[in-house]
Amino acid sequence: MLVYLTAECCGYPISIFFIVVNEFCERFSYYGMRAVLVLYFRYFLLWDDDLATSIYHAFVALCYLTPILGAIIADSWLGKFKTIIYLSIVYAIGQVTMAISTIHDITDANRDGTPDNFTFHIALSMLGLILIALGTGGIKPCVAAFGGDQFQEHQSRQLNTFFSVFYLCINAGSLLSTLITPVLRAQECGIHTQQQCYPLAFGVPAVLMVISLVVFIAGSGMYVKTDPEGNIMWSVCKCIGFAIKNRFRHRSSSYPKREHWMDWANEKYDKLLIAQIKMVLKVLFLYIPLPMFWTLFDQKVSICHFSGLLGGLPDQMQTVNPILILTLVPIMDRLIFPLIQKCGLNFSPLKRMTVGMLFAAMAFVSAALVQIEIDKTLPNFPSSSESQLKVVNTYSTTLNVTISPNEHLLIESFGVQLHTSKHTYSTISCMFVNGYTADLNITNLDSIEPSATTNYTLVNQGKRDFVLRHGEQWCEFSRKFGFGASYTFLIPSTVFSDDCESITEVEDMKPNSVHMALQIPQYFLITTGEVMFSVTGLQFSYSQAPKNMKSVLQAGWLCTNAVGNIIVLIVAELGKLPKQWAEYLLFASLLVAVSIIFSIMAYFYTYIDPAEIEAQVRKEQGLEPEEMEKETLEMEEKDEDQKNEQGVKQTKI
Ligand SMILES: CC(C)[C@H](NC(=O)[C@H](C)N)C(=O)O
């Protein structure tokens, strides 16, 4: 048996310092890149909103599917240490490729500030994203499991704390990068022309990934490294296949039943392997309902209705989640869970996860209530059988307009009338209407021809100044904008003679009157849910996995996240309910239903100590651990020779 003597500090192996720093840098790299990815698609590649969000979600889903690949490589071939190093190199190359793809000057031959060959940039960025997904997903199950491997049996308390600290590092990395990369993107840079600095916004995450790799390699001498015991995944698949085949062969009722269907592999496969497969399958079965949590979790951005009220850039709104995590994880670990334990309640991991799901469901109920309040402040939008018509009178007196067959609108001079009808009319909407007799230039807008309108232009909340110009003439006016409102400004022909005084403001949509504090509960609830569900799930997946399949079970856990993301994509494609609040309630009800199912499954789950079970099986077989490993390898070789044999052969009792 191998005994590792590891250097310790305050009861913790020193090697985990390198692992948590590595995780911090890697998550900085990942979330930093993600924070500006949709903006890059929209404003650099000029994709429409739908395409940009679909590719984004597909990328995120891929990042949580590739862990299976990483886990197989680690547990069956290279071991966790080498897998982390090789896939981190792939990851870093992906980040660098991505950063290069954002340099507009590479293809900007005519130097007009926009790339001339979009195909080149798209191809390069897609290659970068595939490499990143392979790297980040591939190392993810290995890093958490490798961290867990550093602890000895007597350090179980420290092991649990490690997973909490690991989660804190994930969120610290996410927080910093989500704050920093949007700021980097907002800088201007370039060789021929100055543009938004995407190369810097993607370049810094690339540098962080290289640092992450260097830090990990630096700790090399201190790690506990366990080599894979042969091609374990292949053995697992063959063992399961044999159990199914053998069960089918003995389907007649004359054969005695066996306790577990995997016991039908007893004739050919080692008892230890069968016991290990049973442990893994039991946990994977338990994970079936879990993607529903991630489906709600991944939609959390959309339940945070009016980010502007919290005073940040929209892409920096994602920081609220990690900030709350950094606060709530220590509170839960140090205060809430010990308090619950002191009250004599058994708040087991699976109970925590169920409660976490219920918290997420409550977040969506809270979002639905806020949405109902917001809806009350919104104007009546036309239904599918209606349309809205806006008529602007730039004539000098009141006008009488008749809309067929005999509906009348009375519009005052320089007034606007919004009219909803059961017929189909074209909607006319605008931000500025130019009633001046010549072209006008308005700050930050293109010039408007006489009697023409601009499109709705997004402006920031608060007081804004506008300057109107025509040749030498100009005037200035300012207005205060409430969040969520929309206005039309009517510019009369006398605009310069009265110094912008006669500009009429029409409020098309009222500003939001729902107080921002109403959003706090939903942020708080979903993040409390995440701490209970996600941190516990991470620990649970490690603690319930047999020694040789730790990464596999971590990958299974991450897969629940991937499936959740895929459900988000499907839901987005299927369309939405007409009322947003109804959709939130539907999701909340689904999660409550799923958490009930999960709690029933959890009730029948018996917590195990994999090491104890493995030792027990070995004892039953009268084998010492090293002999056992030798035996497994021999079994593998024997198995190859038996390929063509028919029937069942007793190799072990
Ligand atoms: C996807 C995981 C739940 C985890 N994410 C977070 O912790 C977020 C930032 N709160 C991760 O591993 O990135």
Between CA 486 and CA 83 the distance in angstroms is: 54
**pLDDT in the model for residue 623:** 62
When mean pLDDT is compared across 45-59, 469-483, 604-618, the lowest value belongs to 469-483
Would you put residue 152 in left (φ > 0), alpha (ψ -120 to 50) or beta?
Answer: beta
Is residue 220 over pLDDT 50? yes
**pLDDT in the model for residue 625:** 54
Element (H, E) at 473: strand 473-481
The answer to whether 349 and 356 have CB atoms below 8 angstroms apart is no
Between CA 533 and CA 360 the distance in angstroms is: 9
Closest by Cα among 391, 246, 332, 280 to 530: 332
Any atom of ligand 1 within 6 Å of the Cβ of 174 = yes
**pLDDT in the model for residue 447:** 79
pLDDT digit string (tens) for 479-523? 877 766 778 888 888 888 888 888 888 877 777 666 767 888 999
Taking the CA of residue 167 as reference, the ligand 1 atom at the shortest distance is 7
**pLDDT in the model for residue 290:** 97
Residue 543: inside a domain: yes
The upper half-sphere exposure of residue 271, i.e. CA atoms within 13 Å in the direction of its Cβ, equals 15
Q: Do 500 and 519 fall within a single domain?
A: no
Q: What's the one-letter identity of residue 379?
A: P
Q: Do 432 and 359 fall within a single domain?
A: no
Rounded to the nearest angstrom, the distance between the alpha carbon of 487 and the centre of ligand 1 is: 40
pTM of structure: 0.78
Q: Do 187 and 79 fall within a single domain?
A: yes
Nearest residue by C-alpha to atom 4 in ligand 1: 170
**CA dist 91 to 87, 103, 132, 408, Å?**
6, 19, 5, 65
Mean pLDDT along residues 267-287: 96
**pLDDT in the model for residue 440:** 87
**pLDDT in the model for residue 404:** 61
Is residue 362 over pLDDT 80? yes
* Helix and strand element counts for the chain (H, E): 20, 14
Any atom of ligand 1 within 6 Å of the Cβ of 291 = no
Rounded to the nearest angstrom, the distance between the alpha carbon of 171 and the centre of ligand 1 is: 7
**pLDDT in the model for residue 224:** 94
Closest by Cα among 306, 46, 301 to 196: 46
Cis peptide before 349 (omega within 30 of 0): no
Helix (H), strand (E), coil (C) string for 336-401: HHHHHHHCCCCCCHHHHHHHHHHHHHHHHHHHHHHHHHHHHHCCCCCCCCCEEEEEECCCCCCEEE
**pLDDT in the model for residue 507:** 78
**pLDDT in the model for residue 307:** 40
Residue pointed to by tokens 């909490």: 164
Is residue 205 over pLDDT 50? yes
When mean pLDDT is compared across 61-75, 102-116, 254-268, 375-389, the lowest value belongs to 375-389
In the numeric block, which tokens belong to residue 453? 């309108």
Taking the CA of residue 534 as reference, the ligand 1 atom at the shortest distance is 3
Structure-model confidence comparison of residues 180 and 400, the more confident one: 180
Mean pLDDT along residues 108-131: 94
The upper half-sphere exposure of residue 621, i.e. CA atoms within 13 Å in the direction of its Cβ, equals 25
**pLDDT in the model for residue 262:** 96
Is residue 476 over pLDDT 80? yes
**pLDDT in the model for residue 387:** 65
Q: What is the ipTM of this complex?
A: 0.98
Any atom of ligand 1 within 6 Å of the Cβ of 171 = yes
3-state secondary structure of 189: strand
Residue 123: inside a domain: yes
Number of structural domains in the chain = 3
Any atom of ligand 1 within 6 Å of the Cβ of 561 = yes
**pLDDT in the model for residue 454:** 77
Between CA 542 and CA 550 the distance in angstroms is: 6
Residue 384: inside a domain: no
Rounded to the nearest angstrom, the distance between the alpha carbon of 122 and the centre of ligand 1 is: 27
Any atom of ligand 1 within 6 Å of the Cβ of 321 = yes
Nearest residue by C-alpha to atom 3 in ligand 1: 534
Any atom of ligand 1 within 6 Å of the Cβ of 29 = no
Q: Do 92 and 32 fall within a single domain?
A: yes
Between CA 528 and CA 336 the distance in angstroms is: 11
Q: Do 10 and 98 fall within a single domain?
A: yes
Last residue of a domain, one of 204, 228, 252: 228
Mean pLDDT along residues 611-629: 76
Between CA 69 and CA 65 the distance in angstroms is: 8
253: confidence class by pLDDT, cuts 50, 70, 90: confident
Rounded to the nearest angstrom, the distance between the alpha carbon of 329 and the centre of ligand 1 is: 13
Residue 103: inside a domain: yes
- Kindly report the CATH number assigned to the domain that includes residue 530: 1.20.1250.20
Is residue 49 over pLDDT 60? yes
Q: Do 412 and 519 fall within a single domain?
A: no
Mutate to test the pocket of ligand 1, among 27, 59, 143, 170 (most ligand atoms within 8 A of CB): 170
Residue 382: inside a domain: no
Mean pLDDT along residues 430-441: 79
pLDDT digit string (tens) for 374-415? 888 776 666 666 666 666 766 667 767 676 655 655 555 555
Is residue 639 over pLDDT 70? no
Between CA 263 and CA 195 the distance in angstroms is: 65
| 634: exposed, middle or buried (Cβ count in 10 Å: 0-12, 13-18, 19+) | exposed
Q: Do 325 and 466 fall within a single domain?
A: no
Residue 491: inside a domain: yes
Q: Do 548 and 523 fall within a single domain?
A: yes
Residue 385: inside a domain: no
Last residue of a domain, one of 455, 487, 509: 509
**pLDDT in the model for residue 444:** 66
Residue 297: inside a domain: yes
Q: Do 197 and 54 fall within a single domain?
A: yes
336: confidence class by pLDDT, cuts 50, 70, 90: very high
Is residue 642 over pLDDT 50? no
The upper half-sphere exposure of residue 284, i.e. CA atoms within 13 Å in the direction of its Cβ, equals 17
When mean pLDDT is compared across 123-137, 155-169, 518-532, 616-630, the lowest value belongs to 616-630
Q: Do 27 and 124 fall within a single domain?
A: yes
**pLDDT in the model for residue 541:** 97
Q: Do 79 and 20 fall within a single domain?
A: yes
Mutate to test the pocket of ligand 1, among 22, 23, 27 (most ligand atoms within 8 A of CB): 27
**pLDDT in the model for residue 369:** 93
Average pLDDT, the chain: 85
pLDDT digit string (tens) for 444-456? 666 788 888 777 7
Closest by Cα among 330, 31, 294 to 168: 330
* φ/ψ of residue 491, rounded to 5: -100, 115
Which residues span the domain enclosing 254? 230-376+515-653
544: confidence class by pLDDT, cuts 50, 70, 90: very high
**pLDDT in the model for residue 385:** 64
Q: Do 325 and 409 fall within a single domain?
A: no
Last residue of a domain, one of 509, 543, 571: 509
Is residue 611 over pLDDT 70? yes
DSSP string, 536-566: HHHHHHHHTS-GGGHHHHHHHHHHHHHHHHH
